Structure 1
Amino acid sequence: MRYRSLALAAVGLLAVAGCATSPDADQAALAQRVLVGMPKQTLLSCAGVPTRQTSVDNVEYFTYSSDSLQTRMGPSYWGGFGGGPWHRGYWGGADWGSTEVSARNCNATFTLKNGVVQQLVYGSSTDSPAGRLSQCYAIVQNCLPLVPQQPGPAASAAGGVGSRAR
């Protein structure tokens, strides 16, 4: 029974770890909300010239692309069971000769109407949601400092930053 409880706890920890996001991913998700309302000229100044742009019925679409390769060194394990007359049982070991390479990409499409951002949508073929959003952050990171600070939940509940009880 004890091993079953430990196995369930391990599965639970892996599930929680799989949902973890990076600060870059959190900021990219935030950008989808806070960049709405940004003027076209400000977007062009902070994100640069779009990779692609088109216009349909007074609505403009600016698409920015970001690609990267992530390289990670990791352990490689080897071993097996068996042996001969002098050695029986498990044999093996590990070394740091393994290299893992993964590609990340993001396409961020801004929809603008009347010269103002209406929507920001991300598209990607990157497997993990956190990896996808982390790559999208590379596109919006220079624009986020230009957005007026949003009050957090604690500040809103308290009546805003610097508010006094009257």
Structure 2
Amino acid sequence: MTGRRVLPSTGLALGLATAMLAACASGPGAEVARRAQTELIGMPKDALLSCAGVPERHAAANGHEYYTYVAHPSAAISPLGSVGIGGGSGGVGLGVGLGVPIGTTGSDGCEATVVLGATGRVEQVSYPAGASLSACAPLVQNCVAR
């Protein structure tokens, strides 16, 4: 044999890795964000405002209205404290420490732009290229039929 042979376990590992990466890319809620791009088409403006709420930004141009809904990355602040007691060489010491770690909880932000036509109905729902659709889902989930 002159060619390389892929062992079955290697192929299986590559397949599992690909599936895991695809799951991470879409994540939970991604399907809701995808469905919104078709299910919201034709929705009247008052129904959109009722289910999605007031947009963070609003613009109008050429007979269209642009509503932008924003999900900001979530952050966590949690104070941590510690007390230490030590001794040696005839002395005793006491120390108190306080730390405040600040960071994200893993939720990316997202923007959803909803375009309303001259009739006041939804014509398009879009997300930025490369956006995590899971992070976009909370913006539209109340409007998507269950």
The answer for the alignment partner of 2:20 in structure 1 is 17
- With CA pairs under 8 Å and 6+ residues apart, which has the higher RCO, 1 or 2? 2
Change (3 A) 1:17 1:70: farther
Deviation for aligned residue 1:13: 1.0
How many residues were matched structurally? 114
Deviation for aligned residue 1:100: 8.4
Equivalents in 1 of 2:48, 2:138: separation in Å?
14
Are positions 1:106 and 2:110 aligned together?
Answer: yes
Q: Give the TM-score normalised by structure 2.
A: 0.67
Q: Which has the higher strand share?
A: 1
The answer for the alignment partner of 1:67 in structure 2 is 72
Equivalents in 1 of 2:65, 2:142: separation in Å?
21
Identity %: 38
Deviation for aligned residue 1:138: 0.5
Unaligned 5+ segments in structure 1 are 72-98, 127-131, 150-166
Equivalents in 2 of 1:36, 1:100: separation in Å?
33
Contact 1:63/1:108 (<8 A) preserved: yes
Change (3 A) 1:124 1:5: same
Unaligned 5+ segments in structure 2 are 77-102
The answer for the alignment partner of 2:58 in structure 1 is 53
Q: Which has the higher helix share?
A: 1
Change (3 A) 1:100 1:61: closer
Are positions 1:6 and 2:9 aligned together?
Answer: yes
Q: Give RMSD over aligned pairs.
A: 2.7
The answer for the alignment partner of 2:143 in structure 1 is 143
Deviation for aligned residue 1:144: 1.3
Q: Give the TM-score normalised by structure 1.
A: 0.60
